[in-house]
């Protein structure tokens, strides 16, 4: 494929970051056993795009989460090694619940530092390899609808029905890399699973690689309350669920992979005359720490309940007791500073949010920017908890609001209802600012 416009340079690389058997797993407070097998490998994949002096690097990896500090350190290592601005690098995770424990700020048994060092080095290496592999590339992107995978576990029918496909090709129109996204928790497998797995995104990635060729990268959307069809509290038990199997993950992967193929058949070519990468920090307020008397009472009640039960429920209560004791004599931090990013490859935009943003973030950002094809990612720059947008969700409580924060030393309580709107406005402002001086602004070039 030829063009009168000087093409962008694009490189991609994938590095295996599969942990050894016996590594502690993350994803469920009630699962305390180490991994017993590897069902499918975990990868870190990086895409590096440059045009003139501008740089955009996005790295994603098959992990459940990264601490804010660890994500920032990885980004700085990549930027320093390549001699590029820190804001040019974004590090994300797929959020698989079948991977290793990598966070340092939780409760319970610690992470395997030897594995963590190796995995983080692999993430950095993927970015450096992608940088070295850059060559002329041409871009196209498209979307397709898929309504049969994601379910809203909070009782509404709101999901993000789009499958995104962004593909870079070489001069012969052969794929260099296909980047795809569909917003849904990779939690097909439940707490009884002891095999390392990338879950349905790994199956979808394999499907796309086999059907389309080239390298393949999955990036997660805003799926805070979206999963494959069960309640969050269903994961409080270690009992097997006949619907949560590797066969189910493979079926979901195939459906998403088919969606990627449909999206590419409808894809438009996108001239890339510039590359933009911007980031900033945003302060999200959280609920103040309960008073010491309240925390002591909660810990006492949970301790009594734990003594009267066994198995997964006791494990969950033990985590809550540790949280209450940790915060009993500490002041509330008042909130967290979190990163947001916006990268543009020509008119293809990617807005990246931290934590586990609820689906409404993606829907509202696209509506406000009048860009129905805008890819909005979550789980980028660190995963500091669930971030709802609507006041109704905060008021309704539930697992994401009233329970999940007790697994982390970062949180004295959940985010305040104002946190979601603060994050939304900051993301919109960054997206607008990052392309304010571009011809056509936020309008899609076709």
Q: Is the pLDDT of residue 29 over 90?
A: no
Asked if residue 29 lies in contact with residue 407, where contact means CB atoms within 8 angstroms, the answer is: yes
Average confidence (pLDDT) over 80-99:
97
Lowest mean pLDDT among 78-87, 171-180, 436-445: 436-445
Q: Is the pLDDT of residue 442 over 80?
A: no
Among 213, 221, 211, CA closest to 181: 221
pLDDT at residue number 415: 96
pLDDT at residue number 3: 47
The neighbouring-strand residues paired with 89 are 57
Among 285, 420, 432, CA closest to 356: 420
Q: Is the pLDDT of residue 119 over 80?
A: yes
pLDDT at residue number 271: 94
The neighbouring-strand residues paired with 93 are 61
pLDDT tens, position by position, 263-315 = 999 999 999 999 999 999 999 999 999 999 999 999 999 999 999 988 888 88
Question: Beta strands of 170-260 (E only): which ranges?
Answer: 175-181, 195-196, 215-218, 226-227
In a 3-state reduction of DSSP, which class is residue 100?
strand
- Separation CA 420–CA 390 (nearest Å): 7
Burial of 86 by CB count in 10 Å (0-12 exposed, 13-18 middle, 19+ buried)? middle
pLDDT at residue number 439: 53
What is the per-residue DSSP string for 189-202?
Answer: S-TT--EE--HHHH
- Separation CA 441–CA 433 (nearest Å): 10
- Separation CA 170–CA 218 (nearest Å): 20
The pTM score is: 0.95
Among 354, 338, 370, CA closest to 435: 370
pLDDT at residue number 441: 53
How many Å is the maximal CA-CA distance in the chain?
Answer: 74
Asked if residue 187 lies in contact with residue 97, where contact means CB atoms within 8 angstroms, the answer is: yes
Q: Is the pLDDT of residue 2 over 70?
A: no
Q: Is the pLDDT of residue 148 over 50?
A: yes
- Separation CA 159–CA 162 (nearest Å): 9
**Residue 364 in tokens:** 């509202």
Q: Is the pLDDT of residue 105 over 90?
A: no
pLDDT at residue number 443: 44
Mean pLDDT taken over the chain: 94
pLDDT at residue number 239: 82
pLDDT tens, position by position, 215-245 = 999 999 999 999 999 888 888 877 888 899 9
What is the per-residue DSSP string for 364-425?
Answer: HHHHHHT-TT-EEE-SBS---SEE--SHHHHHH--HHHHTGGGGBTT-SSPBPTTHHHHHHH
pLDDT tens, position by position, 53-73 = 999 999 999 999 999 999 999
CA contacts within 13 A on the Cβ side of 22: 3
Among 349, 328, 355, CA closest to 424: 355
- Proportion of the chain above pLDDT 70, given as a percent: 96
pLDDT at residue number 5: 62
pLDDT at residue number 438: 59
pLDDT at residue number 106: 79
Place of tokens 């911007």: 278
Average confidence (pLDDT) over 426-432:
97
Strands 89-93 and 54-61 turn out to be parallel
Q: Is the pLDDT of residue 6 over 90?
A: no
Confidence tier at 259 by pLDDT (50, 70, 90): very high
Q: Is the pLDDT of residue 165 over 50?
A: yes
Q: For the CA atoms of the chain, what is the radius of gyration?
A: 21
């Amino acid at each position: 494929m030829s063009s009168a416009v000087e093409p962008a340079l694009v490189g991609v690389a994938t590095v295996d970051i599969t942990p050894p058997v016996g590594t502690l797993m993350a994803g469920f407070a009630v699962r305390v056993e180490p991994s017993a097998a590897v069902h499918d490998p975990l990868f870190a994949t990086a895409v590096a795009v440059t045009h003139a002096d501008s740089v955009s690097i996005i790295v994603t990896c098959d992990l459940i989460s990264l601490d804010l500090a660890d994500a920032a350190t990885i980004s700085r290592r990549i930027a320093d090694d390549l001699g590029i601005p820190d804001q040019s690098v974004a590090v994300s995770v797929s959020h698989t619940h079948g991977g290793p424990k990598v966070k340092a700020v939780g409760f319970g048994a610690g992470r395997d530092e030897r594995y963590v060092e190796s995995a983080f080095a692999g993430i950095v290496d993927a970015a450096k390899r992608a940088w070295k592999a850059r060559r002329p590339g041409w871009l196209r992107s498209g979307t397709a609808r898929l309504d049969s995978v994601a379910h809203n576990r909070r009782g509404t029918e709101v999901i993000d029905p789009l499958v995104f496909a962004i593909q870079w090709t070489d001069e012969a129109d052969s794929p260099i890399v296909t980047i795809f996204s569909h917003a849904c928790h990779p939690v097909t497998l439940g707490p009884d699973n002891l095999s390392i797995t990338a879950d349905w995104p790994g199956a979808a990635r394999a499907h796309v690689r086999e059907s389309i060729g080239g390298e393949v990268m999955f990036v997660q959307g805003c799926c805070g309350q979206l999963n494959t069809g069960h309640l969050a509290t269903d994961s409080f038990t270690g009992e097997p669920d006949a619907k949560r199997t590797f066969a189910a993950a493979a079926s979901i992967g195939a459906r998403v992979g088919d969606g990627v193929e449909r999206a590419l058949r409808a894809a438009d070519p996108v001239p890339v005359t510039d590359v933009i990468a911007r980031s900033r920090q945003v302060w999200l307020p959280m609920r103040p720490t309960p008073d010491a008397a309240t925390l002591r009472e909660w810990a006492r009640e949970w301790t009594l309940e734990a003594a009267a039960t066994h198995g997964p429920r006791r494990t969950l209560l033990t985590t809550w007791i540790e949280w209450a004791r940790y915060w009993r004599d500490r002041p509330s931090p008042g909130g967290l500073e979190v990163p947001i990013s916006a990268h543009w490859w020509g008119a293809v935009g990617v807005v990246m949010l931290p934590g586990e943003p609820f689906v409404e973030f993606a829907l509202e950002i696209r509506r406000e920017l009048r860009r129905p094809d805008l890819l909005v990612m979550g789980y980028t720059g660190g995963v500091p908890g669930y971030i709802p947008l609507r006041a109704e969700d905060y008021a309704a409580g539930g697992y994401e609001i009233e329970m999940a924060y007790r697994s982390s030393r970062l949180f004295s309580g959940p985010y305040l209802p104002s946190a979601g709107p603060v994050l939304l406005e900051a993301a919109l402002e960054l997206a607008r600012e990052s392309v304010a001086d571009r011809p056509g602004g936020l309008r899609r070039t076709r």
